[in-house]
Amino acid sequence: MVDASGPLIAQVWAVRHGVETGASLRFAALGEGMRAAGAPARLVELASRASADEVRHAAHCADILRARQAEVPPAETRLLFFGPRDLAPEQRLTYEVVAQSCISETESMATLVTLLDAARDDHLRTVLQELARDEVQHARLGWAYLAWAKNRLDLSFLAPFLPAMAIAATGDDLFQRGPPEADDPALLLGGVVPKRDRRRIYLETLDSVVIPGFEEFRIDTGLLRRWADEKRQTLPALES
């Protein structure tokens, strides 16, 4: 336990509780959308299972918060979608699947991998292993969906939206300066990646996983690369 960083660690797990409960709502809706679009039953099933997984993950977050004598926030009840509403139905569905699975879940896997490497506490390690096992499937769902969707619609419409998806995934906080304790390496022992490392992991995962993934589907990643480069250039100032 890292007592000095306790409040910050609890704050991060509380945010994760909201991330998980919100994702559960979105995966349920995405699964129904896939079913209506005629997607393979396996993908619909994966989305449905992902929705249930996220509820279980939120329960783990709540357990960790209670173990730290921290308050468990209410579950997210808003079904949040991030794409423009004037997209065609299959485009809108594709936008949301890509934002959720290809970007957010793929990026979350990178964080989990980092945390697993650093975990020393047996309970935390067990939780992280369970989450990582599930999140692999949640991320794969997005890439599998794209492989199906590429034969049904022109995926090039996604290109101008990719930076907005990357921004939505990070929220407003990641590329803002944080308090000094947010960079404390000891946070890793509480299941939290120090903020300066999170920024670099986020950009490295964009470069090495997300962007090459989109390029597998011949989606232009120029704007996303430019966004990532701009963020990379802000790092020295944020870390000084």
Partner 1 sequence: MKLKRLFQVLVLGGTGLLAACGGSDGSGSPPPGNTPPPQSLLPDGGTPPSGYQGPLIW
Site for partner 1 in 104-123 (CB under 8 A): 104, 106-114, 116
Candidates 63, 90, 181, 197: give the one binding partner 1 (CB under 8 A).
Answer: 90
225 binds partner 1 (CB under 8 A): no
Instruction: Return all residues near 48 (Cβ < 8 A) that are at least 6 apart.
Output: 27, 28, 31
Query: Does 221 interact with partner 1 (rule: CB under 8 A)?
Result: no
Q: Does residue 40 interact with partner 1 by CB under 8 A?
A: yes
Q: Are 115 and 128 in contact (CB under 8 A)?
A: yes
Q: Let me know: does 175 contact 231? Beta carbons within 8 Å.
A: yes
Judged by beta carbon, residue 19 or residue 240, the one nearer partner 1 is 19
Residue 59 sits in the site that holds partner 1 (CB under 8 A): no
Helix or strand holding residue 99 (H, E): none
**C-alpha–C-alpha distance, residues 53 and 130, integer Å:** 10
Rounded Cα gap, residues 160 and 64, in angstroms: 39
Site for partner 1 in 116-175 (CB under 8 A): 116, 132, 136, 139-148, 150-151, 168-174
b/e per residue 196-221 (b: at least 16 CB within 10 A): ebbbebbbebbeebbbebbeebebeb
Would you call 194 helix, strand, or coil by DSSP? coil
Kindly determine how many residues on this chain lie close enough to bind partner 1 according to the rule CB under 8 A: 72
d(CA 89, CA 201): 33
Q: How far is the CB of 18 from partner 1 (least distance, A)?
A: 6
Q: Of 159 and 240, which has the nearer Cβ to partner 1?
A: 159
Distance between CA atoms of residues 112 and 221, nearest Å = 25
**Binding to partner 1 by residue 232, rule CB under 8 A?**
no
In the complex, minimum distance from the CB of residue 27 to partner 1, in angstroms, rounded to a whole number:
12
Q: Given candidates 126, 156, 208, 234, which one binds partner 1 under the rule CB under 8 A?
A: 208
Applying CB under 8 A, the span of 81-89, 119-127, 154-162, 220-228 interacting with partner 1 comes to: 81-89
Q: Which stretch binds partner 1 (CB under 8 A): 1-9, 153-161, 206-214, 231-239?
A: 206-214
Do residues 128 and 188 lie in contact, with contact meaning Cβ atoms separated by under 8 Å? no
Q: Which is nearer to partner 1, 87 or 223 (CB)?
A: 87
Site residues (CB under 8 A) for partner 1, limited to 10-39: 15-16, 18-19, 22-23, 29-30, 33-34, 36-39
Write phi, then psi, for 233 (nearest 5 degrees): -70, -20
